[in-house]
Amino acid sequence: MHRIAPITVVLLCLLAVRVMAATAPVPAAPPLAAKSYTLQDYDSGYVLSSRAPDLRVEPASLTKMMTAYVIFQELKAGHMRLDDKVRVSEKAWRMPGSRMFIEVDKVITAEDLLKGMIIQSGNDASVALAEHSAGSEEAFAQLMNQYAQRLGLTATHFVNSTGLPDPEHYTTARDMAKLAEALIRDFPEEYQWHAIQKFTFNGITQYNRNKLLWRDKSIDGIKTGHTEAAGYCLVASAKRDGMRLISVVMGTESEKARARDTQALLNYGFRFFQTRRLYKKLQPLKQVRAWKGATEMVDVGLADDLYVTVPRGQYRKLQASMQLEGQVVAPVGKGQRLGMLSLSLGDRQLLERPLVSLQTVDEGTLWRQLVDHVMLMLE
């Protein structure tokens, strides 16, 4: 077992900034009236609190998060452009529920339709975009499910682009959090549209249904939803002092309740937890002997940034260690797994991450291989 020196420096720096005489207690999350909910950190993926996160529920207009994700993918791939002219079908025009009030056979840009869907939650805009992208809403729903599989939304299935009720249209709070994470990560520029408070189209100004955008400047999205069966739902994200949280509240009884529960969850998370990046991706954490190699040593580190979320004041108890998977013998490929890094808080293991080679190490000369072979036999 090898101890990793760099984390000691990191932790000492953190403790120098915030010295606490004693570890502050962490209460349970505030009581919520939602059927299910989850609160997680965006960077670390750590779940701060949840209740029935895998309960199957109707997503209602939260569905439009996936509709937006697919359209953003189409734009990125060059299959669509924001200035595309989209002709409104009768089906799109007749959509019930929330609307941006587009008219049948009128031609509207894809950008306006996206804003009408994201800001105004327009069902008509959602269908118009789906038909323009895939030819029909049914074909577009297949795209939605394919992307859902890629993102690991294992308990989600879509049959339309709007969220209108259907027995085969369902999701979970956990899956909605994963979708929110993907939306922020994969499309940071486009994600900013979810913070726009109002949009005017055809002389009609409508306001974003996420009322928290007016109350809390740290909140920058994401989407509300409501049907009679689903209740009032809200997926939100907020960023304070470099820490981003994602909350999902499903099945509350009113707009006020979903906003109140969401605000309570986010405040709880920011108040009692902290997230820090401990290691950068590809940062050398240790050098190890590369037997029979053209070079004697090889750097090992992590393929991705390592973030950790812990209760405030708990960093002094963090311990990191790494275990190599036997001797490292050339040839070694860059990115090859060589061991495992473990991070613990007190007697509780928080996470494990693979340790990988940061360089390629080719085989050494025949003489070097022979000498090292003998030395390995004597180990």
Q: How far apart are CA 300 and CA 113, in angstroms?
A: 48
Question: Residue 28 phi/psi, 5° resolution?
Answer: -70, 160
Signed CA dihedral, 50, 52, 56, 62: sign only:
negative
Alpha carbon dihedral 188, 191, 195, 201, in 10-degree steps, equals: 140
Exposed (0-12), middle (13-18) or buried (19+): which is 17, by Cβ within 10 Å?
Answer: exposed
pLDDT (tens place) for every residue of the chain, 379 residues total = 444 444 433 333 333 333 333 456 789 999 998 999 999 999 999 999 999 999 999 999 999 999 999 999 999 999 999 999 999 999 999 999 999 999 999 999 999 999 999 999 999 999 999 999 999 999 999 999 999 999 999 999 999 999 999 999 999 999 999 999 999 999 999 999 999 999 999 999 999 999 999 999 999 999 999 999 999 999 999 999 999 999 999 999 999 999 999 999 999 999 999 999 999 999 999 999 999 999 999 999 999 999 999 999 887 789 999 999 989 999 999 999 999 999 999 888 889 999 999 999 999 899 988 887 888 888 7
Exposed (0-12), middle (13-18) or buried (19+): which is 200, by Cβ within 10 Å?
Answer: exposed
**If DSSP codes are grouped into helix, strand and coil, which group holds residue 85?**
strand
Q: How far apart are CA 268 and CA 52, in angstroms?
A: 18
Amino acid identity of residue 242, one-letter, is G
For the domain made up of 280-378, give the CATH fold: Peptidoglycan synthesis regulatory factor (PBP3), Domain 2 (2.60.410)
The residues near 355 (Cβ < 8 Å, ≥ 6 apart) are 285, 300, 301, 302, 322, 324, 337, 338, 339, 340, 341
Q: Yes or no: say if 176 and 230 are a contact pair by the CB < 8 Å rule.
A: no
For the domain made up of 36-275, give the CATH fold: Beta-lactamase (3.40.710)
pTM for the model:
0.89
What are the catalytic residues? 61, 64, 121
Domain residue spans of the chain? 36-275, 280-378
**If DSSP codes are grouped into helix, strand and coil, which group holds residue 327?**
coil
